[in-house]
Amino acid sequence: MTIESKAAREFFAAQIKDLNSATRAVIRASVRQFRQDIVKQVRTNFKRGVNSNGSFFKAFKIYDLEADANRGPASYIRAGVPFMKVFQDGATITNKKAQFLIVLLPQGEKLGFKRISKGNPWRKVWAQYGKQFRMRKVGNTTVFTYEFQGKSTPVYLFTKSVTLRKRFDFFAPAEAIAKQIPDEIAKL
């Protein structure tokens, strides 16, 4: 191999390395913009509840994939919420393990009641407030109202299924940003 061919090879290797790092920077900036758009949609479509710690709004993390023989540098966003597809597509949720789904109603959350979970099971809530609860059958559901100072407030809903509407769209902002990437790379 001649000195000129070695120099040419090193020159082009440096150019490719610079192009790869520039491409990585454009892709990373695009993914950051996409993440901001998703978080904006989430903030618009979901209200932070009284008992929320806000972790749902911080669930979107950016990860980088290194370039290999089949793919250039890439980045992706992972939602740390396993049921995110439900909010993207809409769905009907039915509980397979228990007889009912127990839904905390907004009025109950305002009173300070918490969502039923492993850390806050129904038996614990019933033990604490059972004497103040009144049960009312409404169609196929049961509403538990909290009786306090002569006022009755619906707190929990027992139901067989819950239908959730589509809350946001990942594809529209992704397509808009993806269309900008070639122009940004061409500017390099």
- Which residues span the domain enclosing 57? 3-90+167-186
Claim to verify: residue 86 and residue 173 sit in the same structural domain: yes
Claim to verify: residue 77 and residue 23 sit in the same structural domain: yes
Check residue 31 and give its pLDDT: 85
Check residue 97 and give its pLDDT: 81
Claim to verify: residue 69 and residue 154 sit in the same structural domain: no
Claim to verify: residue 25 and residue 81 sit in the same structural domain: yes
Claim to verify: residue 86 and residue 99 sit in the same structural domain: no
Claim to verify: residue 81 and residue 35 sit in the same structural domain: yes
Claim to verify: residue 68 and residue 85 sit in the same structural domain: yes
Claim to verify: residue 53 and residue 17 sit in the same structural domain: yes
Distances (CA, A) of 39 to 33, 68, 89, 136, 170: 10, 30, 17, 38, 10
Claim to verify: residue 61 and residue 42 sit in the same structural domain: yes
Q: pLDDT tens digits for 146-170? A: 987 788 999 999 999 888 888 877 7
Q: What is the DSSP string of 62-87?
A: EEEE--BTTB--EEEEEES-TTHHHH
Claim to verify: residue 126 and residue 154 sit in the same structural domain: yes
* Ranges under pLDDT 70 in the chain: 1-9, 11-17, 48-55, 57, 82, 185, 188
Claim to verify: residue 66 and residue 154 sit in the same structural domain: no
Claim to verify: residue 18 and residue 78 sit in the same structural domain: yes
Check residue 128 and give its pLDDT: 92
Question: Where does residue 150 fall: left (phi above 0), alpha (psi -120 to 50 degrees), or beta otherwise?
Answer: left
Check residue 13 and give its pLDDT: 67
Q: How many domains does the chain have?
A: 2
Check residue 103 and give its pLDDT: 92
